[in-house]
Structure 1
């Protein structure tokens, strides 16, 4: 469940680009107080020794016995460990090629209506792991007799993200945009919609950026030729902030956020 959130945030935080006047040039930082998360819930069921993420793409169904379980179709990890710590706490560990790339611990409140999570994630980084925490709200209960984590959840708050997951820098020169992040993502692409390689992200293979109007751009991310995300960016009149809308085409989710120029 944390993976779908973080993948979404990582793509969301890997930004759009610059215009001919270099107005977008510089380093920017996502303001986590101004992130509007998707209202579409994550659906989790943990019962009878099995863990299911029904809204993951593709869906995940593994034994919740604390051992490595093979997961297919996910570019960021290939095995997953689900450990039931107690009646209200679950720990997830994801690996790729035998190496731990992400961990998360989710603790559900006594009344079952809210949950808190902490995570570390290096599945999309070439440097130090991104860390963070957040809270969720239950919008529908899980099956009777299932673990407290079962149900439909929406993320209500995210805090404590490490800066390496929030910062990005780009430079435009001669109609070509260069984007870099502290976690190792980068691309060099013309801002006329020409497709180019997206580097450092196992889930994105190519990118296109198109200027729309004076202060807006549209980034389209693809995986093996399939559109997986679209990000629309609009620069403020004073050039100090950008309003961005992220559409996750795989999961049918939309998030919005603000980036502040540093």
Structure 2
């Protein structure tokens, strides 16, 4: 909460209006997958002569032989493998402590201009799926696999329910969040970090109101990993959230409907 400038009287006058604004977020929300918009910053993939790399954050470079290879700097995974199925399709599988975290199958269209992907992720809370379409923004080096080059996610076709639903509960100057994948937090709206549960890639979150927007900042290892800014429409029926992933400088926009 902002530092008081004119003592307790000003705080007493403002508090009812602040709580009213916060309560707009209260309730259960579901993301409309057809309205998700990803960053225009492309992901760059190289896949040639049995070597795979991506400009992930941090970058990954491994042999594309279908075997597990160690990767560092990624808190959610410690190995990655890339299997070339055919000249248009690859399967990437990431693991943590030997357990599969995510399997992503990418298939490039015959004309090479678009590709589809199906991502299956696994946690203790269960399995979640996302399917979408990629659009090529730059061609790969000659002799590369079709999956190489620069790509942006142009649309999403589907996602399992546990990827799209979440609930906020506002009680005075405290907000709680939980979702169907087991992620949760309870925090004061004062911008001070608190533990974030359920995601191995997030240690803390700090939450505050900026005008009529809810701002959530996550960290890992003391460094900011994302900043999410959410606003609710005047009729209270939709919430728009823009998430900025700080290490990669990419963003995603979500539109959720009040349930």
2:214 aligned to 202, 214, 217, which one?
217
CA 1:178 to 1:126, structure 2 compared with 1: closer, same or farther past 3 Å? Answer: farther
Q: What's 2:33 paired with? A: 32
Larger CA deviation: 169-178 vs 158-167? 169-178
Structure 1 residue runs without a partner (length 5+): 1-18
Q: What's 1:4 paired with? A: none
1:230 aligned to 227, 233, 236, which one?
227
Mapped to 1, the partners of 2:253 and 2:106 lie a distance apart of 24
Number of positions where the alignment pairs a residue of Structure 1 with one of Structure 2: 240
Kept after mapping to 2: 8 A contact 1:126/1:200: no
Structure 1 runs (4+) greater than 6 angstroms displaced: none
Q: What's 2:101 paired with? A: 101
Q: What's 2:24 paired with? A: 23
Q: How does 1:171-250 map to 2 (within 5 A)?
A: 171-213=169-211, 215-250=212-247
Q: What's 1:81 paired with? A: 81
Q: What's 2:68 paired with? A: 68
2:147 is equivalent to residue 146 of structure 1:
no
Mapped to 2, the partners of 1:70 and 1:254 lie a distance apart of 27
TM-score normalized with structure 1 length: 0.89
Mapped to 1, the partners of 2:214 and 2:105 lie a distance apart of 37
Secondary structure of 2:126's counterpart equals coil
Q: What's 1:46 paired with? A: 47
Mapped to 2, the partners of 1:64 and 1:134 lie a distance apart of 23
State the shift of 1:23 in Å: 2.5
TM-score normalized with structure 2 length: 0.90
Mapped to 2, the partners of 1:191 and 1:157 lie a distance apart of 34
State the shift of 1:129 in Å: 1.1
Structure 2 residue runs without a partner (length 5+): 1-17
